Amino acid sequence: MSAARFTLHRLAARNSQSFVRSTQVPTPARSAVACFSTATKTLHQQSNNATARPSTSTNDPETHFGFKNVPEHMKEAMVRQVFANVATKYDIMNDVMSGGIHRLWKDHFIRTLAPTPGTKLLDVAGGTGDIAMRFLDYCKDTHGDNSAQVTVFDINPNMLEVGKERFSKTQYHSTSQVSFMEGNAENLEHIPDNTMDAYTIAFGIRNCTHVDRVLKEAHRVLKPGGRFMCLEFSKVENPVISKAYDIFSFDVIPAMGQMVANDRDSYQYLVESIRKFPPQKEFATMIKQAGFTVMGQGYEDLTFGVAAIHSGWKL
Amino acid sequence: MASIARSTLLRLPKAALVTLPIATSRVAVGVFAARHFSHSPARYTSAREQPSPSAASKDGAADTTAADRAAKAAKTPDMILKKAMTYVPEHGWTVQSITKAAEDLGYPSIIHGMFPNGGADLIDYFLRDCLKRLPEELEGRMEGLKTHEKVRIGVLTRLGMVAPHIQRWPEALAIMGQPANVPMSLDHLAKIADEIWYLAGDRSADMNWYSKRAMLMGIYSSTEVYMTTDKTQNFQATQAFLDRRFEDAATVGKATNDLMQIAEFGAKSVMGILSSKGFRL
């Protein structure tokens, strides 16, 4: 764990000029923008960054980690570190950052899934149990059903601990309805083929190194007719709202991360990773390429596209 | 709500039924009705014979190409809805009918999310299917008839497709009347009117095109509502109701013409009076 933390900080230091707000004397052109907002600057640097940066290693393929490029094999450890840092404050920070709207998104997400009695759900990247809890509550409240099952799957033991703690205070505690599993979404080796009715991943898939492998695994474990559903931050198309959203993301959220969770860099990563994730249509295409069938355009925008629900069926 | 609608409707046209003459002879109507209202839900039962997807994939998983899979996947939603039609008498136009059908076909019931509008999607499928079947049903039936007779047969044939589900049709009408589903319902109604006029040989390309279709939409929808309360043999009361609506339409058309003539006469008279008083027009 300390090695991973060291790696993160080393990389952060190396790339600090490109993704952390600079304390050096700004050039006149930059200061004009900076006095109003750093959002434009940060986004502008992102495009320069992608082409200008020499690769850190010649033979290892690179991937993005926020606006930085890192060797592929390192991303997993770095993401792990981010979530280890934020785990205990994760839910409170979600409330603070979204003004509680993430709760509405998640409620809508489960209502859209509309689980039927006895549904077996695999909730990937579901560490703190937000989706799993809503799923079981929906089954109980709508159908009076207590045969639905959910497996909470997460790469991060810290996040899973928060989830276990939370379920220990509910009626689902130590029943067969909920179980926890630690592992990588790109390799669900302990879950056999064609066993799940539904697969959900909420605000998790953008942190995975190989999104295509995650989708392939989701397709493998689902039964024929099973549903893949993803809730993820997406692209705001409306230019006016998009501008306000950028300012909020790059100026407000890291500052709030600093205040509430005392961790600016992790939240800086979170907002950057949102911008690096493919927009709605592109992600829908990836879902189709993984073998899923989509209905209509394949996604639904939430709050002007700040988040989107993607759906696919294995047929 | 449905029961209120039913009771008010029952009171409306039945009394008038006996007194009004019917354009076509009773015998012809009887024969026709026997032929057209005899659709049974049997056409949907053929879905039972289709193998479940899990069984199929075990047999021939290797030889299915990606294109085959895609083609099969594209057909799946309609296959589920077709199967779901067999559950409509029992469960109505509901998500439950869809989940039952999905389970029969070997899919987990969660697949019902493919149809986010639930019952409305099932109704939509049924209406699409009816529209597709209408030309087949009318094949060779319209030859040698006058236009208004062709339209009448078209409407009766289309109503005949609803007959097997008449017990559940008031529910369908209620679902179609919900604000979110109104665009879908109107679209289907317009398509029904257009299809019948087209099959009756209408090729007009003027304002008539619109007025004819608007008139038929009104007639068709009111007759369909009437039909949900009709308990007579072979829906004879419905046919009489339909004929009265056609007569009304003709009367309205005639009245409009008369009114135009009166207006024209009045205008000419005024002009005549004015010119006799020395006005130059």
pLDDT in tens, B9-36: 333 333 333 333 333 343 344 444 444 4
Residue B132 lies in a domain: yes
Compute the nearest-CA separation of A226 from chain B (Å).
6
Q: Is residue A93 part of a domain?
A: no
B109 to A293: CB separation less than 8 angstroms, yes or no: no
Residue A288 has pLDDT above 70, yes or no: yes
Last residue of a domain, one of A85, A119, A153: A85
Residues 6+ positions from B45 with CB-CB distance below 8 Å: B86
Instruction: Give the one of A112, A225, A291 whose C-beta lies nearest to B111's C-beta.
Output: A225
Q: Does residue A143 sit within a domain? A: yes
What's the mean pLDDT in A91-118?
90
- Predicted pLDDT of residue A53: 44
Asked if A104 and A168 sit in the same domain, the reply is yes
Judge whether B82 lies within some domain: no
Question: How do beta strands A149-154 and A62-65 pair?
Answer: unpaired
> pLDDT band at residue A43, thresholds of 50, 70 and 90?
low
| Residue A207 included in any domain | yes
The encoded tokens of residue B74 equal 């594209």
Q: Return the pLDDT at A294.
A: 92
Are residues A134 and A67 part of one domain?
Answer: no
Q: Are residues A140 and A36 in the same domain?
A: no
Whether residues A125 and A206 fall in one domain: yes
pLDDT at B115: 94
Q: Which residues contact A130 (CB under 8 A, 6 or more apart)?
A: A91, A106, A202
Q: Give the bridge partners for A231, in sequence order.
A: A202, A309
A284 shares a domain with A202? yes
Q: How confident is the model at residue B230 (pLDDT cuts 50, 70, 90)?
A: very high
**Residue B50 covered by a domain:** no
- Which positions 44-73 of A are in contact with B (Cβ < 8 Å)? none
Residue B232 inside a domain? The answer is yes
Based on the domain organization, do A79 and A132 belong to the same domain?
no
Q: Is the pLDDT of residue A207 over 90?
A: no
pLDDT of residue B256 exceeding 90, the answer is no
Q: How many structural domains comprise chain B?
A: 1
Read out DSSP for B97-158?
HHHHHHHHTT--GGGGGG-TTTHHHHHHHHHHHHHHHHHHHHTTTSTT--HHHHHHHHHHHH
pLDDT the model gives residue A44: 53
| Residue A270, in any domain of the structure | no
- Residue of chain B whose alpha carbon sits nearest to that of A300: B116
Residues of A whose CB is below 8 A from B109:
116, 119, 197
Same-domain pairing of A111 and A163: yes
Mean pLDDT for B215-239 is 93
Which residues constitute the domain of residue A10?
Answer: 2-85
What is the arithmetic mean of pLDDT over A275-298? 92
- Do A112 and B113 make contact, defined as CB atoms within 8 angstroms? yes
Last residue of a domain, one of A85, A113, A139: A85
Residues A176, A292, single domain; the answer is yes
In chain A, which ranges are E strands? 62-65, 68-71, 120-124, 149-154, 178-182, 196-202, 222-233, 299-302, 307-313
Q: How many helices (H) and strands (E) does chain A have?
A: 14, 9
A264-276 vs A72-86: helix axis angle to the nearest 10?
130
- Mean pLDDT across chain B, nearest whole number? 79
- Is ipTM over 0.85? no
Could A295 and B102 be called an inter-chain contact, meaning their C-beta atoms sit closer than 8 Å?
A: no
- Please indicate whether residue B37 or residue A148 has the higher confidence score (pLDDT): A148
Q: Does B71 touch chain A (CB under 8 A)?
A: no
Q: Cβ of A227 and B113 within 8 Å?
A: yes
Q: Is residue A134 part of a domain?
A: yes
Domain count within chain A: 2
Cα(B53)–Cα(A16) distance, integer angstroms: 54
Answer positive or negative: Cα dihedral of A282, A288, A292, A293.
positive
**Domain assignment of residue B195, given as a range:** 2-36+117-266
Closest partner residue to B110 among A116, A291, A315, by Cβ? A116
**CB-based contact B223:B155 (threshold 8 Å):** yes
Q: Which of A114, A225, A293 shows the shortest C-beta gap to B108?
A: A225
Check pLDDT > 90 for residue A231. Answer: yes
Of A198-212, B28-42, B144-158, the one with minimum mean pLDDT is B28-42
B43 part of a folded domain: no
Instruction: Provide the CATH number for the domain around residue B205.
Output: 1.10.357
Residues of chain A contacting residue B99, judged by C-beta atoms under 8 Å apart: 116
- Residue A201 three-state SS: strand
A126 and A228 part of one domain: yes
Residue in chain A lying closest to B105 (CA): A225
> Would you tell me which residues 144-203 of chain A have a C-beta closer than 8 angstroms to some C-beta of chain B?
197-198
Is there a domain that residue A245 lies in?
A: no
The predicted pLDDT at position B160 comes to: 94
Structure tokens at B257: 């013409």
Q: A167 phi and psi, to 5 degrees?
A: -70, -25
Cβ atoms A47, A120 nearer than 8 A: no
Q: Tell me the pLDDT tens digit for each residue of B55-94.
A: 444 444 444 677 787 788 888 999 999 999 999 999 999 9
* Residue A37 belongs to some domain of the structure: yes
More confident residue, A37 or B99: B99
CA atoms within 13 A on the CB side of A246: 19
Q: Which residues of B touch A224 (CB under 8 A)?
A: 53-54, 57, 106-107
Measured between alpha carbons, how far is A225 from A116 in angstroms, rounded to an integer? 13
Site of tokens 């149990």: A129
- Those of residues 150-209 in B touching chain A at CB distance below 8 A are none
Pull the structure tokens for residue B142.
Answer: 């319209």
Give the count of alpha carbons within 13 A of B163, CB side only.
24
The greatest distance separating any two alpha carbons of chain B, rounded to the nearest whole angstrom, comes to 98
pLDDT averaged over every residue in chain A: 82
Is there a domain that residue A249 lies in? no
Taking the CA of residue A176 and the nearest CA in chain B, the distance in Å comes to 20
pTM value is: 0.72
Q: How many CB atoms lie within 10 A of CB B48?
A: 10
Q: With CB atoms and an 8 Å threshold, state whether A295 touches B76.
A: no
Is A226 in contact with B112 (Cβ distance < 8 A)?
Answer: no
The predicted pLDDT at position A269 comes to: 87
Which residues have a Cβ under 8 Å from the Cβ of A232 and sit 6 or more positions away? A201, A202, A203, A204, A205, A206, A277, A283, A307, A308, A310
List Cα–Cα distances, B265 to B185, B256, B257, B262, B277, in angstroms: 43, 14, 12, 5, 19
Are residue A108 and residue A80 in the same domain, yes or no?
no
Task: Give the whole-angstrom CA distance, residue B264 versus residue B262.
Answer: 5
3-state secondary structure of A66: coil
**Which residues in chain B touch residue A291, judged by CB atoms under 8 angstroms apart?**
69
Domain boundary (A34, A51, A85) is at A85
Asked if residue B90 belongs to a domain, the reply is no
- Cβ separation of B110 and A224 shorter than 8 Å? no
The pLDDT of residue B258 is: 80
The verdict on residue B71 lying in a domain is no
